[in-house]
Amino acid sequence: MRVIVVGAGVVGTMHAWHAVERGHEVVQIERESEARGASLRNFGQIWVSGRAGGEELQTALRARELWESIGARVPELGFRAIGSLTPVRGDLELAVAEAAVARPDAAARGYKLVTPAEARQINPALRGAFTAALWCERDAAVEPRPAQLALKQVLLASGRYTYLGGREVREVTGEGSVRDDHGDVHTGDAVVLCPGASLYGLVRELAPGLPVRRVRLQMMQTEPLGEPLTTSVADADSFRYYPAYASEALDSLNSGQPQTPTAAAHKMQLLMVQRSDGGLTIGDTHEYEHPFAFDTLEDPYEHVAAVVESFLGRPLPKIRRRWAGVYAQCTDKSRVVHREQVRDGVWLVTGPGGRGMTCSPAIAETTANELGW
């Protein structure tokens, strides 16, 4: 088959990967010279721990397997099976962690409640005070900024892959056929549109009632920590934003221990991962109301830095960079991704939300299976 993939973010690149792996010819078209969106502006977390039970968890677990196998072939991805720790403080936060460990799918996630001493054996950098920690053995990490480039080099070496950067697809011209802004027409047995958060122009024309919204977030990265952070780290505010933690205990936390005003105003949680150079990627916020602000705000950064320092028991290294990103999220939270045939031979795949980096290999595998690649 000949497959046209539009979009070179992680979802598009994984569709190209699966097509080439199955012996097909792929043309991948990207409006930028290389991807610049949320696929690069994220934590690089393969985040199994907080996923909703059922299809979402199964997708994340399958994606975790795929990331590990792809990482073995492409070392530049920086795949690391590091797990995650979520330190908790006080009885209300502890009760949410205990409810998570009692879930019927807790073993599949690798959940375990550990003492502070056990947490420090797993991650010695956590020198701050906390009551206990939720350990999730199945969580992992990759390096988001070089990931697409590293995958592209392997795809190019296959001899069945062509990359066309700096071209925007403007029109569907027929079955399995699109025209770009250079006037070139690309025809295949299937076209898969993976637009990320670019939900206007052609996407709006093809799917005007698309049940997907855009979400903006703020993040930052530090200079090297000077020691290993051997796991990803989250805080108890993450319990409020991930469906796996829904419980009566969470209801009690929300009512009895609300977020701080800054965290509540910016819908914040702490997620933290160490990069290959030793720096820490730290975030994040959630903004849903359009139009998004064009600037970044300092209060959220100060809040999340204070949370990190309280867990590490030491000052943060100097902040090296700050950024904002936008991703696309299905408004139907029961769906992992929006996958729709929008024209003959043309499919649209978008809206994984914050699950994009985690779930993209399995999302693309499902597309390939459903389309009979």
Contact yes or no for 91/139 (Cβ under 8 A): no
Q: What is the per-residue pLDDT for 273?
A: 98
Which residues have CB under 8 Å from 205's CB, separation 6+? Answer: none
The pLDDT confidence band at residue 333, using thresholds 50, 70 and 90, is confident
Share of the chain above pLDDT 90, in %: 98
- pLDDT of 325 over the 90 cut: yes
- pLDDT of 126 over the 90 cut: yes
Q: How far apart are CA 147 and CA 138, in angstroms?
A: 20
Q: How far apart are CA 182 and CA 132, in angstroms?
A: 58
Q: How far apart are CA 105 and CA 143, in angstroms?
A: 28
Q: What is the per-residue pLDDT for 43?
A: 95
Query: Can you tell me the mean pLDDT for 197-204?
Result: 95
> Within the chain, where are the H helices?
10-21, 55-73, 90-101, 106-109, 116-122, 144-157, 202-206, 248-256, 261-265, 298-312, 356-370
Q: What is the per-residue pLDDT for 190?
A: 98
Domains parsed from the chain with CATH numbers: 2-40+145-211+335-370 (3.50.50.60), 84-137+212-330 (3.30.9.10)
Q: How far is Cα of residue 330 from the mean position of the Cα atoms in its chain?
A: 14
Q: How far apart are CA 136 and CA 97, in angstroms?
A: 11
The SS3 assignment for 186 reads strand
Q: How far is Cα of residue 87 from the mean position of the Cα atoms in its chain?
A: 21
Would you say how long the chain is, in residues?
373
Q: What are phi and psi for residue 184, nearest 5 degrees?
A: -85, 140
- pLDDT of 285 over the 90 cut: yes
Query: Can you tell me the mean pLDDT for 315-341?
Result: 95
**For residue 332, is the peptide bond before it cis, meaning its omega torsion is within 30 degrees of 0?**
no
Q: How far apart are CA 160 and CA 167, in angstroms?
A: 20
Mean confidence (pLDDT) of the chain: 97
Q: What is the per-residue pLDDT for 76?
A: 96
Q: How far apart are CA 352 and CA 184, in angstroms?
A: 30
- pLDDT of 206 over the 90 cut: yes
- pLDDT of 207 over the 90 cut: yes
Nearest 5°: CA angle at 29, between 220 and 64? 55
Which residues have CB under 8 Å from 208's CB, separation 6+? Answer: none
Strand extents, DSSP E, 227-337: 232-234, 271-274, 280-283, 319-330
- pLDDT of 334 over the 90 cut: no
Q: What is the per-residue pLDDT for 102?
A: 98
- pLDDT of 23 over the 90 cut: yes
Q: Count of alpha carbons within 13 Å of 47, Cβ hemisphere only?
A: 25
Residue 259 in tokens: 């977020």
pLDDT tens, residue by residue, 57-94: 999 999 999 999 999 999 999 999 999 999 999 999 99
Query: Can you tell me the mean pLDDT for 15-22?
Result: 98
Nearest C-alpha neighbor of 31 from the set 134, 151, 166 = 166
